[in-house]
Structure 1
Amino acid sequence: MFKTNRIFAIFIMILMHIMTCSCVQDDDFKVPYDLGIEENKGLEALLASDAIEVSMAELKLKYANNYRKPVLIETDIYIKGYVSSSDKEGNFFKEIFLQNVPENPTAGIKVILNQVETYNQYNFGREIYIKLKGLYVGEERVGNGVITIGGETATDQYGTTVKRMTENQRTRQLFRSQNTLELQPLQLNFSEVNANHLGLYVQFNHVEFADNLEGKRYFDPVQDFDTLREMQTCTNDIGYSKFPLETSSFATFKDILLPLGNGTIKGVIVKTFDGSTIVLALNDLSDVNMDDNRCIPLGIEDFDIIFKEDFDLAVDDTDLNFDGWTNFAQAGKVKWKERSSDGNGYAEFNPVGSGNASNIGWLITPGITRDSDSHTYLNFKAAQNEVRSASNTLEVLISTDFDGSNVLSATWHPLDASLPSQTTPSNEFVDSGLIDLSSYKGILYIAFKVKGNGRTTSLSGAYLIDDIYIFEKE
């Protein structure tokens, strides 16, 4: 009798296991039941409904078009994404980041929820569907620039923000598919990173930690929450190009010594708590491989300087009139000024108080002859002062057919440079990085073009330029 009951019990256990693990494949909307019956049914219902899939870019645009106030989604739409973050090692908390595709992603978004150890369900690379109706899209902190999906809003003296989803919202509106895909990290250089990369899984190559961090650990114990450690690379640069790594005080690897070598590092592009700085955050230490020899950066002495202007001969508060330079007001009456402060000269375009509805000013270098096949780079420093609107812009342009006088008849090509933004502290100079001019030959002219407004304080900020160099190296 005992033996018969034991055999029957084993049979029941096997039958239950088969029922639990079986997959239903009779139509395109079915997913394995091992995701959980309720979650499985929820995803099936979503995909079989009239709900419309929207892209992450479309969803984020709803917030931008609402004057950056949280938007309640009231229509039947959903997004699909792939988990790019993992809280398994404690470096993320009650949040997951999604990117739009597993390879060469172009958009990412943050999701905040009242759940810890999310990696157990929303594991790295897992395909996720979010039913958006009834949820909010906005920022978790006013002005931090990280577009986030949340479950409700709250308002204080700083503005309105989105808050975490409740557990009920999460279970009813976040669904996993059966797919966990291998994410291919987006290959980037430090100088290429911008706000469009937030939430993406990326890789930096030829990276090492700064020289002064030898013997330091990922987390600084004198700090309470997060530590920034400076990474550097010297590929194709004069000196080092730098970028910060952020580590949480809750990370399991916080007390590990930083590696001393050079190599690769992978992680998620995020922002610091206050939103002021774009940083890299690790999922785990397996994404750090720095076993190669440290790099030796090129110095200015390795290049020939073929053009230099530091504006140290500037006469304060006069229209810029350096020999060979072109100072042209395309709109309005404001021109670039010579400025001098504490012994440092620079050029400034400031439309404040001009009264003009539009001010457009060009500052153009003398012609620089380049006929060789050598590598040629432009480098300069730029700052902003009280720029409060995206309508105020600084552009850097190059021409090979400018005749020295007819600015608007010349052909001008935009150059990709690191420039100060609205969030950059006033008067803090930003290094442009090395801008490759090697594809241009003949007589080169570099232009700095500013668009501004002189009627309202919200549109009338200033831009500053200093320390312009053009280098050549065979």
Structure 2
Amino acid sequence: MNNSIKFLKLTLVLVASFTITSCVQDDDYTVPTSLGDEENLALESLLTNATEVSFDYAKALYNSDPNDDGDNSDAIPFAVENAIYVKGYVSSSDQTGNFYKELYIQNSAENPTSAMKIVLDQTDNYNQFNKGREVYINLTGLFIGEERTGSGIITLGGGTEFDQYGGTVTSLNFNQIAQKVLRSGITEEIVPLVVSFSEINDTHVGMFVQIDDVEFADDLNGLRYFDPIEVYDTSRTLQVCNGFNYDEFILETSSFADFKEYLLPTGNGSIKAVVSKTYDASSYILALNSVDDVSMDGPRCTLASTIFEERFDDAVDGTDLDTTGWTNYAEAGGELWTEQVYNSNGYAEFTAYGTGNSSNIGWLITPGIDLDTYATETLAFQTEHAYPDAGHDALEVLISTDWDGTTAGVTSATWTVLEFTSSLEADFESWYTFTNSGNIDLSSYSGTGYIAFRYTGSDTSNLNTTMHVDNVAVFGE
């Protein structure tokens, strides 16, 4: 949503270049049935004389950090001079007032892979650019950049402005809208892209998505979408049960939304919304087109019972890890797993860097875990990395039910590799960002189980990625 200072909605002025007749679609809102001769001719000319490019190609034309110094104040929106255009489908709607002077478009009505934002100096855009409308954006003479420097939301604008924070794009005026944002006669059903909270990233900004098995946070019962003490937007926490804890996300509602006084649903179900960001771009949010896209009538989810949990909260920075019940064993080389603390958070670390060893194999093994109490048991943990070595998977996670609990018996026990999402796999180039392993099913194992984190590397072969492990838990249902 656009969180800039918002004025009262203006009545949309329809000019002669958009000779519009209309009909009622689904008894909901009016959409044009005739695009008008001028718009049709403009679209025909665009398709004949310009070249279609992908969303990703167009977005890549803008460089938010041209000096590659982490400072966006030198950002300059890209001025398009070539005869190119993009084709997309409108994913947002301002009919309910939850979007303001903006459109989001995605590159496909179903299974989109990219999306963009367009800022427009007009309101009630749903009458002209209804959700699902196929649109062709003539990029010639427009600017590609950000509406707010550093937001990461690539936006199409009609002009530019500059301040101490860098260059940004400004809204298309009415004439630019008429000349550059051209509709076809096609309106497609926008099929929501089903994602989980943890999967949402910059790629999804502007897409119409669906989250399943979701509910509003427990402490929001009896509250409404909008908090009357707020001025512009209200954030409400959504949650999804993830074993022993919740995955959380924010739904943001504008003070102009016509559903702002509706009570939040208290059940569990699904929500369909557009992915956006907070005003300061610090986090992703969801923004509703309509409360009709919220279906939460089912029973609320229940967290699983925790069988085992270790957060390394008692870690002593820079010491060999000696957490009670855990086994810390060096199979090759002299390096052991260590305890580290950063910003008051403790975690386990292993790296081959600086050891001087040609081979480092370090085991970190949990205490015994009872796998017979519940019908199903699930393992989850987090990993992060630094100094990654391309093609080197430094960390394996394994399970054994026949280990005798001694260091002498580690290599002779039967260990089975468990598949998990590693931080190296999730984002190889992103350092020091904890990644959830995903829920790992242990229901096929019985008796007493041991989970091992095994690091393999070499200092002399430059295979010395740093790996961190934290928040290890097994839960049962």
Same fold (TM over 0.5): yes
1:224 to 211, 214, 231: 231
> In the aligned structure 2, how far is the partner of 1:175 from the partner of 1:378?
51
Partner AA of 1:195 in structure 2: D
Paired residue for 2:248? 242
Tell me whether 430-439 or 155-164 shows the greater mean CA deviation: 430-439
Alignment of 1:49-448 (within 5 A): 49=49, 51-64=50-63, 67=66, 69=75, 70-234=77-241, 237-300=243-306, 304-305=307-308, 308-312=309-313, 314-318=315-319, 320=321, 324-325=327-328, 337-339=338-340, 345-347=346-348, 365-366=364-365, 377-380=378-381, 397-398=395-396, 415=421, 432=436, 434-436=438-440, 445-446=452-453
Which residue identity lines up with residue 59 of structure 2 in the other structure? Answer: K
Secondary structure of 2:41's aligned partner:
helix
Task: Return closer, same or farther for 1:56/1:335 CA change in 2, 3 Å cut-off.
Answer: farther
Q: Deviations over 1:154-185 (max 9, x none)?
A: 22212222221222222111100000111111
CA deviations on 1:315-341 (whole Å, 9 max, x unpaired) are 4323557764468999xxx99752358
When residues 46 and 345 of structure 1 are mapped into structure 2, their CA distance, relative to the original with a 3 A threshold, is closer
Equivalent residue, structure 2, for 1:457: none
Deviations, residues 221-273 of structure 1 (Å, cap 9, x unaligned): 11111111011222x52233222110001111111111122222111011111
Distance 1:268 1:287 in 2: 11
SS of 2:365's equivalent in the other structure is coil
CA contact (8 A) 1:77 1:131 kept: yes
- How much identity, in percent, do the aligned residues show? 41
- Give the Cα–Cα distance (whole angstroms) in 1 for the partners of residues 476 and 41 of structure 2: 64
1:444 offset after TM fit, Å?
6.2
Which amino acid letter does the alignment assign opposite residue 130 of structure 2? N
Q: 1:242 to 1:347 in 2, by over 3 A?
A: same
1:42 positional shift? 0.8
State the partner residue of 1:42.
Answer: 42
Contact 1:321 1:327 in 2 (8 A): no
Structure 2 portions without partners, runs of 5+: 1-18, 22-31, 67-71, 355-359, 401-408, 458-465
- Is 1:418–1:433's contact at 8 Å kept on the other side of the alignment? no
State the shift of 1:112 in Å: 0.8
Measured after TM superposition, the shift of residue 313 of structure 1 is 5.4
TM-score when normalising by structure 1: 0.71
Q: Partners in 1 of 2:456 and 2:119 — Cα distance?
A: 41
Q: CA RMSD in A?
A: 4.7
How many angstroms apart in 2 are the aligned matches of 1:447 and 1:81? 47
Q: Runs of 5+ in structure 1 lacking a partner?
A: 1-18, 22-31, 356-360, 451-461
Report the AA paired with residue 80 of structure 1.
Answer: K
SS in 2 for 1:42: helix
Q: How many angstroms does 1:86 deviate by?
A: 0.2
Tell me how far 1:376 sits from its aligned partner. 5.1
In the superposition, relative to structure 1, how do residues 464 and 126 fare at CA in structure 2: closer, same or farther (>3 Å)? same
My pick for the range that moved more, 373-382 or 128-137, is: 373-382
What is the letter of the counterpart of residue 339 of structure 1?
A: Q
Deviation larger for 273-282 or 182-191: 182-191
Q: Hey, what's the Cα distance between the residues in 1 that align with 2:165 and 2:84?
A: 30
The amino acid that maps onto 1:469 is A
Q: 1:444 to 1:341 in 2, by over 3 A?
A: closer
> In structure 2, what is the equivalent of residue 466 of structure 1?
470
Q: Is the 8 A contact 2:394 2:467 kept in 1?
A: no
| Number of equivalent positions | 410
Whole-Å separation in 2 of the counterparts to 1:142 and 1:183: 30
Q: Secondary structure of 1:63's partner?
A: coil
Q: State the SS of the aligned residue for 1:220.
A: coil
In 1, the alpha carbon distance for the partners of 2:388 and 2:444 equals: 30
Shift of 1:43: 0.4
Q: Distance in 2 between matches of 1:40 and 1:170?
A: 14
Counterpart of 2:208, as a letter, is Y
Q: 1:344 to 1:243 in 2, by over 3 A?
A: closer
Distance, in Å, in 1 between the alignment partners of 2:40 and 2:173 is 20
Q: State the distance in 2 between where 1:142 and 1:404 align.
A: 53
- When residues 85 and 329 of structure 1 are mapped into structure 2, their CA distance, relative to the original with a 3 A threshold, is farther
Q: Is the 8 A contact 1:325 1:365 kept in 2?
A: yes
* 2:15 equivalent in structure 1: none
In the superposition, relative to structure 1, how do residues 365 and 164 fare at CA in structure 2: closer, same or farther (>3 Å)? farther
Question: In structure 2, do the counterparts of structure 1 residues 144 and 295 end up closer, same or farther at CA, with 3 Å as the change threshold?
Answer: same
1:191 and 1:418 in contact (8 A); partners too: no
Give the corresponding residue for 2:461. none
Name whichever structure is richer in helix by fraction. 1
Does the aligned pair in 2 maintain the 1:417–1:435 contact within 8 Å?
Answer: no
Alignment partners' CA distance in 1, 2:332 and 2:83: 51
State the alpha-carbon separation in 1 of the partners of residues 235 and 363 from structure 2: 38
TM normalised by structure 2 equals 0.71
Cα gap change, 1:347 to 1:159, in 2 (>3 Å) = farther
Change (3 A) 1:149 1:317: same
**Is the 1:397–1:414 contact (alpha carbons within 8 Å) kept by the matching residues of 2?**
no
Q: CA deviation at 1:437?
A: 5.0
Whichever residue aligns with residue 364 of structure 2, its letter is: T
